[in-house]
Amino acid sequence: MKPKKFLAASLVALLALPASGQERSFGLGLITPPVHVWNQEVAAMGETLASRSDGRFSVTAYPSGQLGNEATMLQQLQTGALDMAWLTTAEITFRVPAMAALHAPFLVENIADAARVLRSDEAREILELLPRATGTMGLCYAMTGMRQLVTRQPVASAADLSGLRFRITPAPPIRSFFEMFGAAPAPMPLTQVYDALANAQIDAIDMDYESIINFRYFEHAPHLMETNHHMFGMVALVSARVWAGLPEDDRELIREATQEHCDRTIDRFVAEEDGKLARLSETPGIHITEDVGPDFFGDVVARWDAEWGAQTPYVARLRELVASF
């Protein structure tokens, strides 16, 4: 670069850096709608950051995929066009195969154990892979609960799932699971699911109670199988470029505030999961099949482990961790 251009570029970079004491609003993207627990906790995190920074910091949330789908938001984080995002662990699996271990089918039996996995050293180790693979800092995990199967037609046996067009969150390990039991996975972002069901483009969805309630998917798919077949994690991300421009004491402040609201999110999901199922079972028109365990899916869990265990040691490590609970 010519000396003059270099000087100009350096000046722009310097101006973009928030010196200590400067006011700053962090843009934060999410795919979830304002009613979702993640969005509520992001709003609360904005308040925590504002009060701990004496009003220097605030958060401007962009909900419902306003900035694009999760893949687009991840790219924006990488370039520094977006400061922060709360994204699904599913999205990260495209770049960090180790993250697939968190989507291992039937890894945990209940949501309390899902919380323990997300708070484990093993899970934290996976976050250390993010800067190199994604250009982001993964500050902490939270979740949106356990996933269930929701279908338009009743399902009596695994054979009934075969050939169903199943909406899944785009993610290679989730696709594998659905392909292994003979479904036709249709990856699409959360924001398109309701219309796809309403237009009968899909027969079924892989979803959590929070979103089933928020979006009322049961209006078009009234059969819910309580499978708890995988946990659905979230990672609170900060652009590594933005992070690099922050002084250490501000990083610490952001790290602590984010961790607090990740923890609150996890605690809320653990506390509220049973109540959400109870609420759905009282909703007229919904048919719930309770306690559908791994046996329903035959040898799919073993096949999934063989495929994904070959790609990352974290599948075996997380299975061992859960066995020790």
Interface positions with ligand BEZ (CB under 6 A): 31-32, 88, 144, 169, 190, 207-208, 211
Nearest-CB residue to ligand BEZ?
169
Smallest CA-to-CA distance from 32 within 111, 110, 142 is with 142
Shortest Å distance, C-beta 209 to ligand BEZ? 10
Q: Which residues contact 302 (CB under 8 A, 6 or more apart)?
A: none
Cβ-based nearer residue to ligand BEZ, 32 or 227? 32
Shortest Å distance, C-beta 201 to ligand BEZ? 16
Cβ-based nearer residue to ligand BEZ, 31 or 231? 31
Shortest Å distance, C-beta 143 to ligand BEZ? 9
List, in sequence order, every residue forming a beta bridge with 204; answer none if it has no partner: 151, 166
Cβ-based nearer residue to ligand BEZ, 224 or 253? 224
As a whole number of angstroms, the distance between CA 288 and CA 278 comes to 10
Torsional sign, CA 298, 300, 303, 309: negative
Cβ-based nearer residue to ligand BEZ, 53 or 211? 211
CA distances, 73 to each of 4, 68, 136, 201, 280 (Å): 33, 6, 11, 26, 32
CB 264 within 8 A of CB 44: yes
Cβ-based nearer residue to ligand BEZ, 31 or 115? 31
Cβ-based nearer residue to ligand BEZ, 134 or 169? 169
Shortest Å distance, C-beta 147 to ligand BEZ? 8
Q: How many CA atoms lie within 13 A of 311 on its CB side?
A: 17
274, two tokens: 């049973």
Shortest Å distance, C-beta 311 to ligand BEZ? 22
The residue to which tokens 């653990």 are assigned: 270
CB 70 within 8 A of CB 190: no
CB 33 within 8 A of CB 64: yes
Shortest Å distance, C-beta 187 to ligand BEZ? 9
The residue to which tokens 């997300």 are assigned: 118
Shortest Å distance, C-beta 76 to ligand BEZ? 17
Shortest Å distance, C-beta 32 to ligand BEZ? 5
190 backbone dihedrals φ, ψ, rounded to 5°: -50, -40
Helices 248-281 and 37-52: angle between axes, nearest 10 degrees: 150
Cβ-based nearer residue to ligand BEZ, 279 or 303? 279
Cβ-based nearer residue to ligand BEZ, 31 or 108? 31
Q: Residues for the chain: how many in total?
A: 325
Shortest Å distance, C-beta 87 to ligand BEZ? 8
Cβ-based nearer residue to ligand BEZ, 76 or 144? 144
222, two tokens: 């009234």
Helices 314-323 and 300-309: angle between axes, nearest 10 degrees: 130
CA distances, 195 to each of 67, 95, 121, 189, 202 (Å): 19, 29, 40, 11, 10
